[in-house]
Each structure stands twice: as C-alpha cells, then as structure tokens.
Structure 1
Amino acid sequence: MPVRTIRIIMNGVTGRMGYRQHLVRSILAIRDEGGVVLRDGSRLQVEPILVGRSEEKLARLAKEHQIAEYTTDLDEALADETAAVYFDAQVTTERKKAILKAIAAGKHIYTEKPIAESVAEGRELADAAAAAGIISGVVHDKLFLPGLLKLKRLIDAGFFGRILSVRGEFGYWVFEGDLQPAQRPSWNYRAEDGGGILLDMFCHWNYVLENLFGRVEAVTAKAVTHIPERWDEQGRKYAATADDAAYGIFELENNIIAQINSSWAVRVDRGELVEFQVDGTEGSAVAGLFGCRIQHRVRTPKPVWNPDVPTTEDFRAQWEQIPDNTEFENGFRAQWEQYLADVDAGARHPYDLAAGVRGLQLVDAGLQSSNEGRRVAIERLDA
C-alpha cells in the first residue's frame, strides 16, 4: 500500500509535556513504526519540524532523534508550503498569536489546552479556523486513558443504570522547591504567566464530563493558593500568585452531579493520581489512569453504621477489577493518530477548537464562582 508523508510544525516541544508526550511518545513513535495506519491499509508517515526559542535545545533534540529540520523562526516555518499541520505546546500566554499566524498561513491546527486565556480569545481562534476551512484539534488526552476507556465501555453497555453522581480526585504534592526541586515548572504558580490549576484542569474536566456524562450546565467552585511562596528553577524564592487547588461542584445534564477536587498541595492516598467514582442505580465504578474497578447492584454489601464497633469489612476487596482485554496505546499518541487521519481524510476532528472554547467557558465560570462565592450557570454555545 502507498505511504504518504505529512509534515508537522511542532512549537514548544522543548518543554516537559511537549517533549515527552507529543514529540517522543507520539510523533517519533509513529515515525519509527512506519506511520499512521489508515482505514484502507495505507500509511501516513510523519515528519516533524521543530520550532522553539532556544537554538541550542532544538539542535540537541534534532541530533538525538534524527530530526532533519528545526528553527527559532516561526514565520519561516509557517512559510513552508510543504508543512500541513501546526502544533502548539507553548505556554498559554504565547498560544493565541501563534495559532492565528498558523491559520493565516493555511495550516491545520492541533494544540494543547487551554487554547487561549479567555473565552473571547478562544472564540476568535475557533472563528478564524472555521473561516479558513482548516481542521482543528485540541488535545483531549484523558479520554484515551485505559481507565476512562473502560469506564466509557461500561457507560455504553448500560452498566450503571441511571447515573447519579461522579466524584473525582486529582493531584499530588508538588514540592515548593526549597527542600527539594519542584516537579512542575514555576510558571504554573504565577498567574501573570498563565499559571493556575483551575485554568489548567477545568479544561480537562469539561471534556471528560461532556464526553462521558453530559454537558456542564452550572458550577460552584473555590480556587485557593495553599502554598503562598515557592522557589523557582534557579532556587530563587517567588510569590505564588496562582491557585494551586480548585474544588468544584458541577451540575450536568440529566441531573447528574459531579464533584472534582484538583490540588498540587495534597498527598496521595489512593490507587492512582487521578480517580473518578461513578455511582448509578445499578452499579458503581472507580476509574483511574489505567485501572477500573466495579461493583454491581447484586454484589453491593450492606454496611451498618456503628461507631462503637471497629469495621472489619475490607470494602476495597469487594470490588472487581475490569481486565485489560485489549491493548491500550499512549493516550496522546492515540489522539494524534485520530487527528492526523482526519486531516488526511479532510474530515472534522471531534475534539476541535470549539470544544476548547467550552473548556474555557468552564474555567471562566469557575473563576467567577470562586471570586463571587456563588453558583454560576453556563451558557450553551453552538460553536
């Protein structure tokens, strides 16, 4: 079968996420295995063009991974008519102007989220992409996690009956940087640089809730900065101006209530760094990144509250683990392959810039709720 090649401008892949997940584990993995296998059996090979601010870092990555082209000049890369796709993994504050340039150059767009710093900016990007007729995609990596794929299978099979509620716990302790180096970049904790866990994670929670359970209709949230001072990559103390924890109650379609805690100031006492418990009339499930445990109605125990007698039941042992009865590939790579196949076919990608705008809507509503101390309804957008 024939092999075609698609050239991808990749901006921001010297950062941790852009490098590890998008460049190495997605695009280079696809390249080294001969390209994306399409439905007709043909292959779509990928060829990255690296863009960034540091020529030294780009040169090192290009040499290490046998990448032919790199540049610190985005305009030069966008002027290359042989490159069809522009990918953005920069800090959020730099994203809008770069994507608008790429759209003007006629490139298809694939981007990390948040897609912009506000709903208005996000709508500007979505409208520009629609007017240009290009295919846009926004990273929805958590939908491709093995645990959530198993959860989706349960939903599609009607396992839960009527879904009542969703409870999510996400986060871990990010070191302040004095005792030992922080495992996240310092800009994450500066609002002026686009940091903040609500801005970061509510975009994720919107697409998880929307695609698994239903549209978010209202939110009550509280964003806080638990750790007011941190130390940056050079060991310098700085004021943490962005929230490092966000607690949200989300009202969904079909009268489903979701509660999700997101925190970089919590120590983990659960099976995985993120877990979602879904309770329904017929059964419940707890899904993480990889695992998914279930308890059906007929297997549900009947505990009795008695504070005078120690609990002897091992409640966690009463759940059943769903087996890994299929192969799950890296979630970032899986969506890259789906997006590139859509570009090759000229088909709309389901997780597009309009979906990114809805994520920003939830961010804005969450921040408004936190600042004003009230429930905020979310307007339905047709885009």
Structure 2
Amino acid sequence: MTTTLGVIMNGVTGRMGHRQHLLRSVLAINAQGGVALSDGEKVLLRPVLVGRNAAKLAEIAAEHGIEDHTTDLDAALADPENLVYFDAQVTRARVKAILRAIEAGKHVYTEKPTAESVAEAVALAEAATAAGVKNGVVQDKLFLPGLLKLKRLVDGGFFGRILSVRGEFGYWVFEGDWQAAQRPSWNYRAEDGGGMTLDMFPHWQYVMENLFGPIRSVYAQTTTHIPARVDENGRAYDATADDAAYGIFELEGGIIAQINSSWSVRVNRDELVEFQVDGTEGSAVAGLRGCRIQHRSTTPKPVWNPDLPVTVSFRDGWQEVPDNAEFDNGFKIQWEMFVRHVLEDAPFPHDFAAGARGVQLAELGLRSAAEGRRLTVGAL
C-alpha cells in the first residue's frame, strides 16, 4: 500500500534547498518508490514549493513536474494535507516561519542553524514541545561515509583512549570579481545571518558530540580574511561576517579537538574536510568518503633530522578502511528517518534541542573570539 505525505518546502530556490533537499532527497525518495515504513507501507512525498520568487518557483516546479508552488506560506500551512514543514531559507528568516508552522500544527524539519541566537533556538524547541509537534534539524555530516567509518572505529575500540582530534575544513571561495563566487553573498554579511562560525560550529558540535563526547569548553579566533567581495549581480559589497574560524575545544574525558574552518584557504588535502583522530592504540584520518588508519603496531619511528632528505612516504604506512556497506546520500537518509519519526514515532535524536546546542557553540565561539578567552559550554 502506498500513501502520500504533503511536505511544504520553503527555500528550495537556494543552493542547498534545491540540490540536496528537493532533488537528492525528496524527489529521489519518490523515484525509489517512497519511504518504507515498518509495516511495509510506502510513503510518497508531495512537495509544495514555497518562496518569495514566483517565477523561479514556477520554473523549478515545471522542470521537475511538481504541481504545487506558491509565495503564500500561510495558504500552504492552512492545507490539512500538508503535515510537514521544511525550512531551508536564509538563517535570518527561519525562526519566524518555523513558529508559524508550529502554530499551524505542522511537524517541522529544518536546516541548521535553527536560529541566530541561543535564546531563539531554545524558544523554538520549547514551542515545538508545547505544541506536541515532531521536530528535527539537519545533521548531515553524521551520515557521510568517511564519518560513518570513523564512528565504526570508535565504537569498536580501535583508538584505545582517544587523545585528540584535528579537523581541517574549507576551500577558496572566489571573491566574485574575476570569477563568480561559488557561495551566495549573504554568507558574508552578518546582517543577513552569514558567517563561518554560525554556519560551521553547529556542524562541529554534533560531529564531536556524537562521535567523541560532549564539549566542555571552547576557545575560538575568528576573522574576515577577505573584507570586500562582489555579489551575484556584480555589485561590490563589504564582507561584514567572519569567513574563517579557528577553534580549540575540550571534550569530556580530556580529548582536545582543534578545527580550522576557512573559505579563504586553498586545498592541499585529499578532501574538502578531513578529521585526524589520534589515540593510544591507533590513529585515523577521515574525510567525506574515505578513512585511513594506522595501528600502534604498524606505526613507524620517525627521527627528526633536517639535514637529510625524507626517504619514506609517511602516507604509505596507512591502511584504507573498507566500505563494508552501501552508503546512500546523507540528506536523503535523514529525510527518511524524519518521515518515519512523524508517521510511526521512530527514533529521531536530531531534534530542536540538539539544534540549540549547535547554536550555543556558535554563539560561545563568537563570544570567545570577541573576549579573547576560553568559555565553558554548559548545559542548556
């Protein structure tokens, strides 16, 4: 038996909303026959596209054979057939729209960060709980093949006692003058909710919490390396948000994590994001898809001698972790989880409370950078 679930999708004219959520998640789910529930029933998703640009919505809808699209969010929320509201708008517009969806009794799934401030993020979680609606936040990095392999190593005790985590994320985003920027200009305007810290610290929060343990303190340094850029319409503008954030985090158990995030760095690594985890029994380097390991028993014994050339390749001493599983698109997997959560109360730990903890880390990171000191990450 197959049923249909109406899903309001607000913000699909943007890059993430369009590519990852509409095309690679919702439409991909329908192409495979729907979300399979525990009783064997299949659920197809009926997307209702919402946004401010009617012409662009109509173009997307026509391209993909979608019947419903509107600039009237309230009308979409008023339709009882639409049970789920999804938000992929710019961060600044998110809280007000989600509160309207909650008031309309919709279950809400949203991109991160859930809000620009901890107070707003907590208010969303409280509002959803009070209304009795299911709620979830996108935490896609947990479903990357590389991090799934890393989680497998952690759960299997490969590392022994974990000592440290080192993360490198980023790439060069063109300034927009002689080559078009590959990120939207609002990312670089603080007044529009942009900034590296607000964008990426929520990601690092749930990655560290789910793989290694709760975060106890943060020290961060943020900066705007490129102060002037050119937007999508060829107009110069001042970059008022941070485009790089360098963080040191202390985790439960004494693990020290260092994560550099920058849109002003040229890539000299295998993937756009890599995490190195070092433990007493072994180490691993995980990226988006791959994961390499070096066990204690196979660790070489380097000797520092700057007067002699290196005669071995250190990379050759690492072993690739096998897939041992089929890895689907992480965004799609989490969509399927949320649909099951809504329809049959299946577990979904990535709720608005989890989203608020991500906003908390971003807020503390920005405050740490402004005050030049380490801050405790307390319970919300």
Q: Give the TM-score normalised by structure 1.
A: 0.98
Cα RMSD for the two superposed structures: 0.8
- How many Å separate the matches in 2 of 1:361 and 1:90? 20
Counterpart position of 1:96: 95
Counterpart position of 1:242: 241
Residues 169 and 276, structure 1, Cα contact 8 Å, conserved in 2:
yes
Counterpart position of 1:373: 372
The one-letter amino acid paired with 1:314 is: S
Counterpart position of 1:65: 64
SS of 1:295's partner is strand
Matched, 1:291 2:295: no
- How many Å separate the matches in 2 of 1:77 and 1:233? 30
Residues 195 and 242, structure 2, Cα contact 8 Å, conserved in 1:
yes
- How many Å separate the matches in 2 of 1:377 and 1:30? 41
- How many Å separate the matches in 2 of 1:9 and 1:223? 36
- How many Å separate the matches in 2 of 1:14 and 1:33? 24
SS of 1:255's partner is coil
- Greater Cα shift, 194-203 or 321-330: 321-330
Counterpart position of 1:159: 158
Counterpart position of 1:340: 339
SS of 2:136's partner is strand
Counterpart position of 1:55: 54
Alpha-carbon distance, 1:347 to partner: 4.1
Alpha-carbon distance, 1:346 to partner: 2.5
Matched, 1:81 2:80: yes
Residues 92 and 114, structure 1, Cα contact 8 Å, conserved in 2:
yes
- How many Å separate the matches in 2 of 1:181 and 1:312? 42
Counterpart position of 2:104: 105
SS of 2:83's partner is strand
Residue-by-residue CA offset, 1:113-141 (whole Å, 9 max, x unaligned)? 11011000001100000001111010000
- How many Å separate the matches in 1 of 2:349 and 2:37? 17
Alpha-carbon distance, 1:337 to partner: 0.7
Counterpart position of 1:196: 195
- How many Å separate the matches in 1 of 2:352 and 2:228? 35
Q: How does 1:1-383 map to 2 (within 5 A)?
A: 2-347=1-346, 349-381=348-380
SS of 2:253's partner is helix
Percentage of matched positions with identical amino acids: 68
Residues 291 and 322, structure 1, Cα contact 8 Å, conserved in 2:
yes
Residue-by-residue CA offset, 1:102-121 (whole Å, 9 max, x unaligned)? 00000001000110110000
SS of 2:8's partner is strand
Residues 206 and 358, structure 2, Cα contact 8 Å, conserved in 1:
yes
The one-letter amino acid paired with 1:379 is: G
- How many Å separate the matches in 2 of 1:137 and 1:280? 33
Residue-by-residue CA offset, 1:311-352 (whole Å, 9 max, x unaligned)? 111001110011222110111001111111111113452000
- How many Å separate the matches in 2 of 1:297 and 1:201? 32
The one-letter amino acid paired with 1:155 is: V
- How many Å separate the matches in 2 of 1:320 and 1:273? 20
Residue-by-residue CA offset, 1:214-236 (whole Å, 9 max, x unaligned)? 11110000010000110011111
Residues 135 and 347, structure 1, Cα contact 8 Å, conserved in 2:
no
- How many Å separate the matches in 2 of 1:241 and 1:170? 21
- How many Å separate the matches in 2 of 1:228 and 1:146? 35
SS of 2:292's partner is strand
Residues 135 and 349, structure 1, Cα contact 8 Å, conserved in 2:
no
The one-letter amino acid paired with 1:107 is: K
Residues 202 and 362, structure 2, Cα contact 8 Å, conserved in 1:
yes
SS of 1:198's partner is helix
- How many Å separate the matches in 2 of 1:343 and 1:51? 21
Alpha-carbon distance, 1:42 to partner: 2.1
Long gaps (5+) in structure 2: none
Residues 122 and 356, structure 1, Cα contact 8 Å, conserved in 2:
yes
The one-letter amino acid paired with 2:338 is: Y
- How many Å separate the matches in 2 of 1:208 and 1:333? 18
- How many Å separate the matches in 1 of 2:314 and 2:180? 37
SS of 2:258's partner is strand
- How many Å separate the matches in 1 of 2:116 and 2:53? 24
- How many Å separate the matches in 2 of 1:231 and 1:186? 8
- How many Å separate the matches in 2 of 1:266 and 1:322? 28
SS of 2:328's partner is coil
Q: How many residue pairs align between the two structures?
A: 380
Alpha-carbon distance, 1:100 to partner: 0.2
Residues 337 and 346, structure 2, Cα contact 8 Å, conserved in 1:
no
Alpha-carbon distance, 1:44 to partner: 1.5
Residues 295 and 320, structure 1, Cα contact 8 Å, conserved in 2:
yes
Long gaps (5+) in structure 1: none
- How many Å separate the matches in 2 of 1:348 and 1:328? 20
- Greater Cα shift, 31-40 or 215-224: 31-40
